[in-house]
Amino acid sequence: MNLLPVSSGISAKPCHAYVGSYAPHGQGIYRFAMNSAEADLQSLGAPDLAPNPSFLLFNADHSRLYVANEHEDFQGRLSGSVSVYRRDAASGALSLAGCVASGGARPVHLSLDAQERYLFVANYGCGSLSVLALDAAGGLGQQLDQQSPAQFKTLQPYTALAQQAPPGSFAHSDHDGPHAHQARLDPTGQFLLSTDLGLDQIISWQFDARSGRLSAPRCHPSSAGAGPRQLCFHPRDASLCYVLNEESSTLSWWRFDASAGGVLRALGEISTLPAGFAGSSFASELQFTPDGSQLLCLNRLHDAIAIFEIDAAGRPQLLGHEWTRGSYPRSASFDPSGRYFFVCNQRSDHLAVFRLAERGAGLQFTGRYVPVPSPTHLVFASV
């Protein structure tokens, strides 16, 4: 096992929270102050206007907020945009410091390299990946690279129902071409991994940290029609990679080998839905609990959080489900203390707040809701 440190995530300090929202209900980025002892979010005023902020990302010291704006008409071209805001740590206020083309339509995910020299963008609308240079102050510079899996796809877009979807499912949208949903570096920083929902592929690109260029892509097919959406690495074992598949509502796990050129080897796949479930559901996000002992996966339409325990061999075992107390959970985030889990229920126009139970006992609803119109993504920053 390649062991990695796991942060306890414990902090009693107050913090600020920022929530993106979708139009037409949402108006941009909503700001809150949080008393971490109570998990109570208090509004900091009117939202900062932004076109469909689908994904938010802070740099390491929380001084800059990067935002993916999920639209396709930036300055008259077929592209979304990426914005960067300066953040005032005392007040939580944001000031726009720059906005550039994302390199493709409808960007939905951002990530940074460890040195904060590059910003990686997944453009869902056209399936492309972009690498944006950052200047010394964290500002958005030129686009260094753009790649699209359409140029080397080995399979035609898959239009039938997902092979491992539950009976009665009609979850088979967007298999009409490439649709990149995530792009992030592996723990070694040598490879950029992307999930393509439309092509049913997980793709690893060799990343040159000197030039910011991507090369030598390797394609790893999911089960037919699965629609890979998001991935994460085991916090203690850098060779274990977990992929959440949107259309099949399954969790697959893989062995990642950086020494072999970024190869992924499939180990297994399991449903994120309860036994006997029938009908349509769309899986949306996965993340480990702060101590790395459990993996949480969101299901939309089923509207529940699937809770998995990871055994010593890295295999996920389904422990159960927790209702999200709302409709269509798009994403979720732990607060800095690691004690509270906030779910963005997109169609219910609110955040639902859960407490992480002790000794691996799952999640407990706190009874708290925070009104936010069509919430997409939530991030926290220290005060």
- Binning pLDDT at 50, 70 and 90, where does residue 252 land? very high
Cis peptide before 24 (omega within 30 of 0): yes
Return the DSSP state at 237: B
Residue 247, pLDDT score: 96
Structure token digits, residue 180: 């990149």
Q: What does the pLDDT look like over 218-248, one tens digit per residue?
A: 999 999 999 999 999 999 999 999 999 999 9
* pLDDT surpassing 80 at residue 154: no
Structure token digits, residue 339: 């004690």
- Binning pLDDT at 50, 70 and 90, where does residue 7 land? very low
Q: What does the pLDDT look like over 327-348, one tens digit per residue?
A: 999 999 999 999 999 999 999 9
* pLDDT surpassing 60 at residue 299: yes
What rounded mean pLDDT belongs to the chain?
Answer: 92
Window from 20-29, 30-39, 55-64, 314-323 with minimum mean pLDDT: 30-39
Window from 34-43, 125-134, 174-183, 303-312 with minimum mean pLDDT: 34-43
**Cα distance between residue 231 and residue 264, in whole Å:** 12
User: pTM (2 decimals)?
Assistant: 0.94
47-77 in b/e burial notation, b at 16+ Cβ within 10 A? bbebbbbbbbbbbeebebbbbbbbbbebeee
* pLDDT surpassing 80 at residue 1: no
* pLDDT surpassing 50 at residue 251: yes
Give the three-class secondary structure for 98. strand
* pLDDT surpassing 90 at residue 383: no
Residue 151, pLDDT score: 60
Contacts (Cβ under 8 Å, ≥6 apart) of 24: none
Contacts (Cβ under 8 Å, ≥6 apart) of 242: 231, 232, 233, 234, 251, 252, 253, 254, 286, 295, 316
Residue 216, pLDDT score: 92
- Of all residues in the chain, the percent with pLDDT exceeding 90 is 84
* pLDDT surpassing 60 at residue 12: no
Residue 6, pLDDT score: 46
**Cα distance between residue 283 and residue 298, in whole Å:** 6
- Binning pLDDT at 50, 70 and 90, where does residue 359 land? low
**Cα distance between residue 371 and residue 25, in whole Å:** 12
Q: What does the pLDDT look like over 74-99, one tens digit per residue?
A: 999 899 999 999 999 999 999 999 99
Structure token digits, residue 320: 């159960």
In order, the DSSP letters of 43-83 are E-SSPEE-S-EEEEEE-TTSSEEEEEE--S-GGGSS--EEE
Contacts (Cβ under 8 Å, ≥6 apart) of 330: 284, 285, 298, 300, 344, 345, 346, 375, 376, 377
Counting beta carbons within 10 angstroms of the beta carbon of residue 150, is it exposed (0 to 12), middle (13 to 18) or buried (19 or more)? middle
Structure token digits, residue 312: 């010593």
**Cα distance between residue 199 and residue 153, in whole Å:** 8
Identify which of 77, 123, 86, 118 has the alpha carbon closest to the alpha carbon of residue 102. 123
Residue 144, pLDDT score: 82
Structure token digits, residue 20: 């993106």
- Binning pLDDT at 50, 70 and 90, where does residue 357 land? confident
